[in-house]
Structure 1
Amino acid sequence: MQAVVLAAGEGTRMRPLTAQTPKPMLQVADRPLVAHTADTAVEAGADELIFVVGYEADDVRSYFGDTYRGVPVRFAVQEEQQGTADAVEAAREYLDGPFAVLNGDNLYDEASVAALFDAAPAIAAYSVEDPRNYGVLSTDGETVTGIVEKPDDPPTDLANAGAYVFPAEARDWLDVPLSERGEREITDVLARVVDEHSVTAVEVDRWLDVGRPWELLAANEWKLADMDRRIDGDVRGDADLRGTVVVEEDAVVEPGVTIEGPALVQSGAHVGPNAYVRGATLVGEDCHVGHGVEVKNTVLYAGSNVPHVSYVGDSVLGTDVNFGAGTQVANLRHDGEPVRMTVKGERVSTGRRKFGVVAGDGVKTAINTSLNAGVVLDTGATTTPGESVTRDR
């Protein structure tokens, strides 16, 4: 079965991390987010991958090439971002037979996607406590009878998890009109399939829509926990590695370091001496975590440095970030409420009691900088010595 993987979006809610990198190519554990989606499709039995690309398309092309894990790869270009049906229609010329559609910024457990492929035509469903913020499926047993967007009175607790298997004729049903929000929706295609076919709702055991920075943390928590312990790099002296820890070849862990997994230290990274890394932490390629530094439940992308006597917790640092000596990140509100941050101009809850900062590529803080919980530092932002930053910059 062909699998269409949607990877054209810019990811504006993930800014500033997507200023130069398309959201599907943001790293989760040891590979891009969209690669986890592709892996799931291949494991489920996809015999061809069609990536729909747009923003920074060359990043996706160069990563996947002509084949991925022995499966042929093609690329289709979505010229304008006009919704999910429009994205799939960009791949229409390549479709031949039943086809799956997966969002390249979603994570699924592999067994559930395999069950989805087997049940074709089908849609992935995920049971949620409050379905009012989702597209919600109406069902008769396991058969889908309809879908309604963000209903005040949901017919079920089954949210649309954004993965589908369509019959071959759906290839000719992709040209749907614009919705009220100005997009051509894949759910309108689904509605016609439901009218003409018996569509199975396949309940997935685990699903994560990775749209905002704190969900990127959650994605790393999931995938880092799935790794197997492996020590290929240079671990020196009395360094103490506990639990699921991966140290890649050409990485160095100095004496006095404690790493409590799940954690991944990638090639070229240097940790220590006397550093403490804990929680679900990614130390990316060529990163430096130095003396007296504590990094907890954090993502450090390639080339970033926290070299001297700092604390960084529950944060996401883009590429080539440098935190000056004594930089401290707050990650907890005194009132115990979830940390809030600004996404596309709107102040929203992260839903996380602990959440630190988001630093775009090339951010540099000066010595003894304090960063408040939920602060976003834009690409290339800087601070002054001793500064306390309480608002986005």
Structure 2
Amino acid sequence: MLCVLLAAGEGKRMAPLTATRPKVMLPVANRPMIEHLICAVRDAGIDTFIIVVGYREKEIRDYFGNGERWGVSIRYMVQRTQSGTGDALRSAKGLVKGRFLLMNGDMIVTADDIRNVCASPAPAVGVVKSENPEQFGVITETGGKVTGIYEKSTNPPGNLINAGIYLFDDDIFAEVDRLVPSPRGEYELTDALEPAITRNELHAVPLTSWCDIGAPWNLLEANEDALSDMVTDIRGEVEDGVTLKGAVVLAEGSVIRSGTYIEGPCMIGAGCTIGPHVYIRGKTVIGNDCHIGHASELKNSVIFPRTKIPHFTYIGDSVVGSGCNFGAGTKVANLRHDKEHVKVGGVSTGRKKFGAVIGDNVLFGINCSINVGASIGRDVRVGPNTVVSGMIANESVLGRN
């Protein structure tokens, strides 16, 4: 059996983080999210992959190559225009024979759940209960057989959703070839499942470990899950006077300077300098080659590589892109005064605490204030003493520089 991974899309809902990288290459625990998926599929016993690529495909190809480093074999097929999941699967036609696994590349699931799907009769779809079913394709089932799929209904008929993991025989390609564009102009894979639903042949396989990454704030949840069973692994330098509480991972070439206090779980990449006198609170992940300076505090945040957060800065419950530079004294708010769920661009995060989404290569002057729920595009320049709120477009210039 082989696995087809769909990784061609841009992931517009993940903007501004996907302005410079494909969605599946966004980091979870300092590794691309699709790397976690490839490893889980491998551990479930499948070592042959076809990855359907498109948007910024070179980054995926350069990182994974032929898969040898992971003990798998990878081939690539290109979806030139992102015309839906059915069209993406059609890109792999001719390379797939017999039974195969199909998965969206923007989720995380365990090897055990993958094994359970593979043990089902085909065709099968993984399903999971959701607190926000209106955001997904909702599935109804009776006796383990799917009776209907309802795409992003405002009044969903239940809370069981399509998790984006399928087991097919190669006869699915005949159904895909018969697809016509949906009302939104895409070839929908779920439309190709209707004949199997009508014949009462589509199996629903419950999952226990699924994590969807559809919006920037989902990266906080995905990283929290990834750190939940982490154990301490110190490979860098820890100076005298540092306090480590809970599980902390420190990669090679990094140093934690005296007076720093870290509450795990916390993961720090390679080539970082932390401190002196830094306070890092739990569920924080810091990428490679970052600097966190004197008297700064980080809480429950994901910091991408090569970002500099110098002295007297606070960042909480936020996602920060790569190559950013924070002026001294910059603060990110993470709680509304009315304690309601934070919204980003009018979309609820479902979180009472969320700070900001900050794209790559953003430069802040000193003493900036970033309001709760801000989204700051890539290559933005923010002058000293500037208050930043709302949605900021790529390459904007704010305040007096």
Give the TM-score range, shorter chain.
Answer: over 0.9
In the aligned structure 1, how far is the partner of 2:184 from the partner of 2:372? 33
For residue 36 of structure 1, what is the aligned residue in structure 2?
36
Matches within 5 A, 1:311-350: 311-342=314-345, 347-350=346-349
CA contact (8 A) 2:297 2:313 kept: yes
CA contact (8 A) 2:146 2:200 kept: no
SS for the counterpart of 1:194 is: helix
Q: Percent identity?
A: 43
Report whether the alignment pairs 1:20 with 2:20. Answer: yes
In the aligned structure 2, how far is the partner of 1:208 from the partner of 1:382? 34
Report whether the alignment pairs 1:125 with 2:124. Answer: no
Query: What stretches of structure 2 of length at least 5 have no aligned partner?
Result: 393-401
Matches within 5 A, 1:254-273: 254-273=257-276
Report whether the alignment pairs 1:378 with 2:377. Answer: yes
- Classify 1:315/1:132 alpha carbon distance in 2 versus 1 (closer, same or farther; 3 Å): closer
CA contact (8 A) 1:170 1:193 kept: no
Q: Which amino acid letter does the alignment assign opposite residue 342 of structure 2?
A: V
In the aligned structure 1, how far is the partner of 2:121 from the partner of 2:43? 16
- Classify 1:8/1:217 alpha carbon distance in 2 versus 1 (closer, same or farther; 3 Å): same
2:207 to 201, 204, 208: 204
For residue 299 of structure 1, what is the aligned residue in structure 2?
302
In the aligned structure 1, how far is the partner of 2:293 from the partner of 2:170? 55
Report whether the alignment pairs 1:88 with 2:68. Answer: no
In the aligned structure 2, how far is the partner of 1:74 from the partner of 1:8? 14
Question: How far is the alpha carbon of 1:151 from its aligned partner?
Answer: 4.1
TM (norm. structure 2) is 0.93
In the aligned structure 1, how far is the partner of 2:98 from the partner of 2:47? 12
Deviations 1:338-366, CA, capped at 9 Å, x for gaps: 11111xxxx11111111111111110111
Question: How far is the alpha carbon of 1:150 from its aligned partner?
Answer: 3.4
Matches within 5 A, 1:152-301: 154-175=156-177, 176-196=179-199, 198-301=201-304
- Classify 1:194/1:47 alpha carbon distance in 2 versus 1 (closer, same or farther; 3 Å): farther
For residue 312 of structure 2, what is the aligned residue in structure 1?
309
Query: What stretches of structure 1 of length at least 5 have no aligned partner?
Result: none
In the aligned structure 2, how far is the partner of 1:213 from the partner of 1:168? 35
Question: How far is the alpha carbon of 1:143 from its aligned partner?
Answer: 1.7
In the aligned structure 1, how far is the partner of 2:372 from the partner of 2:206? 36
Q: Which amino acid letter does the alignment assign opposite residue 51 of structure 1?
A: I
SS for the counterpart of 1:168 is: coil
In the aligned structure 2, how far is the partner of 1:149 from the partner of 1:35? 28
CA contact (8 A) 1:146 1:194 kept: yes
TM (norm. structure 1) is 0.95
Deviations 1:119-178, CA, capped at 9 Å, x for gaps: 132110011245344322222211223322234664443111111001221133222111
Question: How far is the alpha carbon of 1:2 from its aligned partner?
Answer: 1.1
Deviations 1:297-322, CA, capped at 9 Å, x for gaps: 11111100101111000111111100
